[in-house]
Amino acid sequence: MIYKCMEKIKTIYSPVFLTDYPTVDCENPDRVEFIYAKIKDIADIIEPEPCTLSDLALCHSEAIIKTVARTKEVFDTAILAVGGAMMAAEIALREPSFALIRPPGHHAGHNFNGGFCFFNNMAIAVKNLLAHDTVESALIVDIDLHYGNGTHDIVKSDPRIAFRDIDARSREGFFKDLEEALADASNFDVLGCSVGFDTYVRDWGGLLYGEDYHKVGSMLFSANQRLFCLLEGGYYVADLGTNTSFLLQGILKACS
């Protein structure tokens, strides 16, 4: 299927993601605020709905759900982030999408969480599509600096889902690994990308320049047009918005 050229990308966002819930200092509301400010001209904003308890149960144990629910601000923001991810995945069946959400999710497994993550936005979004028979297979590519251990934990025993984590030590290695990870992406019904900008040259990873995210966006969309991207990490707030804009423009460019 070839999509029509778009000027804006469907972006799931809510001011609720600016909630200053208890977490580490670096995973703060400024992250999404700065991104929103930089991408709003190329983003077609859609407000998410919170997910339900049964959506959470697609991927998480009752114990973990109950633990997160003890802190209302965290729980309310986290279920909206999951709902946003689910919406982004559903939109991807028609056109590419981006979920500008927090908290991130890829370190949340079936019965554990950590690394600033509470529920696994990506895994729930994909399992929800599969549960409704909307798609029969999915590829998840995680380009965050850190290993998506939570996503791996949840999807490892599901033959319908392939999970590939880019764990490069250099810029060249990153693009080589990404190319390999996407080589057969067109064979899957949908492509979900866990996007972390902590690979940025001025962030913890020190790997990629801002313009490189443009190339990443183009590579992702060229590999599978049923693409959705979810925000995971990225802590160099001053350039987070610019880097996100590069990624989205890369998707739009490949779409044109």
CB of 174 within 8 A of CB of 168? yes
Shortest separation between residue 235's beta carbon and Zn ion, angstroms: 8
Q: Which of 27, 55, 142, 144 binds Zn ion (CB under 5 A)?
A: 144
Nearer to Zn ion, 209 or 236 (CB): 236
Residue window 115-134: x/- pattern of binding to Zn ion, with contact defined by CB under 5 A = --------------------
Nearer to Zn ion, 31 or 110 (CB): 31
- Ranges assigned E (strand) in 30-96: 43-46
Q: What phi and psi, each to the nearest 5 degrees, are found at residue 186?
A: -70, -10
Q: Number of residues interacting with Zn ion: please give it, by CB under 5 A.
A: 6
Shortest separation between residue 198's beta carbon and Zn ion, angstroms: 4
For Zn ion, which stretch binds (CB under 5 A), given 68-76, 82-90, 146-154, 186-194? 146-154
Q: Which of 31, 60, 102, 146 binds Zn ion (CB under 5 A)?
A: 146
Q: Environment class of residue 121 by beta-carbon count within 10 Å: exposed (0-12), middle (13-18) or buried (19+)? A: buried
Residue window 181-210: x/- pattern of binding to Zn ion, with contact defined by CB under 5 A = ---------------x-x------------
Q: Which of 86, 123, 145, 251 binds Zn ion (CB under 5 A)?
A: 145
Residue with tokens 């183009």: 218
Alpha carbon distance 255, 139 (integer Å): 20
For Zn ion, which stretch binds (CB under 5 A), given 75-83, 140-148, 174-182, 211-219? 140-148
Shortest separation between residue 247's beta carbon and Zn ion, angstroms: 15
Q: Give the length of the chain.
A: 256
Residue window 203-242: x/- pattern of binding to Zn ion, with contact defined by CB under 5 A = ------------------------------x---------
Active-site hit among 107, 110, 146, 214: 107
Which residue's CB atom is positioned nearest to Zn ion?
233
**Residues with Cβ within 8 Å of residue 168, at least 6 apart in sequence:** 174, 176, 177, 207
Provide the CB-side half-sphere exposure for 205 (13 A, CA).
25
Locate 153 and state its tokens: 């934990």
* Active site annotation includes 60: no
Alpha carbon distance 176, 230 (integer Å): 22
Give the distance, in angstroms, between the CA of residue 228 and the centroid of all CA atoms in the same chain.
Answer: 7
**Residues with Cβ within 8 Å of residue 205, at least 6 apart in sequence:** 145, 198, 199
Shortest separation between residue 233's beta carbon and Zn ion, angstroms: 3
Q: Which residues bind Zn ion (CB under 5 A)?
A: 144-146, 196, 198, 233
**Which residues are the active-site residues?**
107
